């Protein structure tokens, strides 16, 4: 299937590892022009070098918790690309323990970075013929689990925010959707750390999934790219759960 993404101008926050890196790669494979950001200069440089033969990709060092820096990156990217068509809010602080600091961090990084990214990108998306907003939430935002608290609540808020955007922006031809991954394993990720640091929790998490294994970043990236594409032009306001049948609640 041709996803009609060739030449599409895309921004992805947190694009150097895990799900974000896989999303960048998947867009590049569809012929999109991709900008990504992350906090660590060495990881940004390494990622850009690794992917430069895959397509047009531009990395930037940005802390998405810094509102002005995030807005500046969006503006500079739009100027460099001649506009924007798709933005993907992927970054999460992964602040799970129930502390005051983690509540503040989750709200600022997970929720407000999504809000700020959208606000900065909207003037450019309004000029796009196929504008799309994607935010990465989590199954922890849909059902109560061990990550309930700062992380889970922030992820629930993202789903609500994006659903409201879908209604508010439909008349402007801008779509907004959320993708909620289940447990996703990759080297250097949170589950790889839990595998060695808390093997009992890791075994429990794997055992809860009917597939018998965790997902991969690539398995999350594929539906993200599809939802962002013109092929999915009738889909807006959806929270697409990508979890291998992990969650038990029925979405009505």
Q: Using DSSP, state whether 4 is helix, strand or coil.
A: coil
Single out the catalytic residue among 77, 106, 132, 138: 138
Catalytic residue among 77, 128, 132, 155: 155
Q: Is residue 172 annotated as part of the catalytic site, yes or no?
A: no
Q: Is 151 a catalytic residue?
A: yes
Taking the alpha carbons of 183, 184, 189, 194 in that order, is the dihedral positive or negative?
positive
247: three-class secondary structure by DSSP: coil
Residues 39, 40, 43, 44, Cα dihedral to 10°: 50
The catalytically annotated residue of 77, 137, 140, 229 is 137
* HEC letters along 34-103: EEEEECCHHHHHHHHHHHHHHCCEEEEECCCCCHHHHHHHHHHHHHHHCCCCEEEECCCCCCCCCCHHHH
Reported for 246-252, long-range contacts at CB under 8 A and 24+ positions apart, including other chains, are 246/139, 246/182, 246/183, 246/208, 246/209, 246/210, 247/139, 247/142, 247/143, 247/182, 248/143, 249/142, 249/143
Determine which one of 92, 132, 140, 151 is catalytic.
151
Whole-number Å distance between alpha carbons of 139 and 247: 7
Catalytically active residues, by annotation: 137-138, 151, 155
């Amino acid at each position: 299937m041709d996803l009609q993404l060739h030449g599409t101008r895309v921004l992805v926050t947190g694009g150097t590892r895990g799900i974000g890196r896989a999303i960048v790669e998947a867009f590049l494979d569809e012929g999109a022009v991709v900008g990504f950001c992350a906090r660590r200069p060495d990881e940004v440089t390494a990622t850009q070098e690794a992917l430069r033969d895959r397509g047009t990709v531009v990395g930037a060092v940005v802390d998405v918790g810094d509102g002005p820096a995030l807005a500046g990156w969006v503006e500079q990217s739009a100027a460099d690309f001649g506009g924007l068509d798709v933005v993907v809010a992927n970054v999460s602080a992964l602040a799970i323990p129930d502390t005051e600091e983690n509540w503040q961090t989750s709200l600022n990084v997970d929720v407000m970075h999504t809000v700020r990214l959208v606000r900065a990108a909207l003037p450019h998306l309004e000029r796009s013929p196929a504008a799309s907003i994607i935010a990465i939430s989590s199954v922890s935002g849909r059902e109560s689990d061990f990550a309930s608290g700062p992380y889970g609540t922030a992820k629930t808020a993202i789903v609500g925010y994006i659903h409201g955007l879908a209604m508010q922006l439909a008349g402007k031809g801008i779509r907004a959707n959320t993708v909620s991954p289940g447990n996703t394993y990759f080297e250097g990720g949170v589950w790889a750390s839990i595998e060695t640091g808390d093997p009992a929790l890791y075994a429990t998490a794997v055992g809860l999934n009917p597939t018998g294994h965790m997902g991969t970043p690539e398995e999350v990236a594929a539906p993200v790219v599809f939802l962002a594409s013109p092929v999915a032009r009738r889909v807006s306001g959806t929270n697409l759960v990508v979890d291998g049948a992990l969650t038990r609640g029925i979405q009505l």
